[in-house]
Amino acid sequence: MSTPTKMNVPIARTSLTEAEIQSVLTPLSNGWLVQGPKVREFEEKWSAFTGARHSIAVTSCTTALHLSLAALGFGPGDEAIVPAFTWIATANVIEHLGGKVVFCDIDLNTFNLDVAALRTKITSRTKAILPVHLFGLAAEMDQINEVAKQHGLWVVEDAACGFGSRYHGKHVGVLGDTGCFSFHPRKAITTGEGGMITTDNDALAEKLRRLRDHGAAMTDLQRHLGARPYLLADHPDAGYNQRMTDIQAALGAAQMERADDIIAERRRLAERYDAAFADLSWLRTPAHVEGLEHGYQSYPCLFQPEPVNADSIERINAARNAWMDSLQQAGISTRPATHAVHMLTFYREKYALKPADFPNAWAANDCSISLPLFHGMTQAEQDFVIEQVRGRQI
């Protein structure tokens, strides 16, 4: 059999069973389309899986982060610390609430927040830390929580990539004041768009539920199931409309039935890549950290044909882009792992920032590459990626 020279392998692909596809017919058939019984079911399954006392379904991880900060009391003039290498939403929610974004550099080995650098970023205005469990590897939460406790700060975990990620036995999202998850199609569990907030704080959970639903004291489902469904709820807060629909939740709840299998498959795929690329000095594969279980939302590598430093980043970036283009020509989609937010136009201009202000984030921005990894990836697809990666001149 001849080896293919081209195959279409996307960076990610949604894989749904027929039962999951059919699950959305339930709310379409019974007429309950907005936040209702399927949202409650999804929340209960999410809590059972993560070990969270409360799970609150919302429209996205972005709104989960926004609601978390708003419920905690973050507002104009407050500062929050975020990694300089993350998806832009982590920083945007701070801007939306009138706060100041304070960037912190990352550990280039893990792509996560550098705790030593974090300690230097705290001021009298700091109110919150937003650690990100980037790509499915948990941040150093014990150290981060220690810093937060010393300074009386809130910790809002950006666990957008955190499904299946564990920190010394605990699922991420239960380690701070809140955890915020994403159900975007590139995530292991998807509802198209959607998010979830987890917390063990009863009072905070109650406030989060109100704020996602216009500030209402009870949900429509609670009201309809109550003794007087004809009376409207009180609104103790000026809230938002950030409710998940039952159509989305039906899909999410159905996928939770095979949550363990989805995670196990992603780990198997990552292990095959690890073994295949172990001898490639120019491609550093994702870090393995003792006590941390990687969820592998993606497979981020560092492209390093020479040592990565300020003098070499421009050359490495040009070589990486050419390498990615050659893979694209063969039909393999790749991406930079994510972006350095301080290098994006809005934040660069607003805060007068330069790439070198956060050198590890700059290096990750210009030298990282994510290879295809997704639930439902065939062995033939992965074999093709491995062969093409190993066979390309560097």
Q: What angle do CA 168, 272, 266 make, to 5 degrees?
A: 55
Contacts of 3 (CB under 8 A, 6+ apart): 387
Count of CA atoms in the C-beta half-sphere (13 A) of 208:
28
The DSSP call for residue 217 is: S
Q: Going by DSSP bridges, is the β-strand pair 195-199/54-58 parallel, antiparallel, or unpaired?
A: antiparallel
CA 133 to chain centre: 7
Per-residue HEC secondary structure of 83-144 comes to ECECCCHHHHHHHHCCCEEEEECECCCCCCECHHHHHCCCCCCEEEECCECHHHCCCCHHHH
Cβ contact 238:348 at 8 Å: no
Closest CA to 61 of 255, 246, 198: 198
187 in catalytic set: yes
Q: Which helix (H) or strand (E) holds 366?
A: helix 359-367
Closest CA to 376 of 245, 213, 190, 103: 190
**Cα gap 71→73, rounded to integer Å:** 5
CA 174 to chain centre: 15
Neighbour count for residue 18 (Cβ, 10 Å) = 7
Catalytic residue among 187, 207, 350, 354: 187
Closest CA to 300 of 380, 365, 378, 211: 365
CA 340 to chain centre: 15
- Residue appearing with tokens 């809002």: 156
**Cα gap 38→285, rounded to integer Å:** 39
Q: Report the catalytic residues.
A: 187
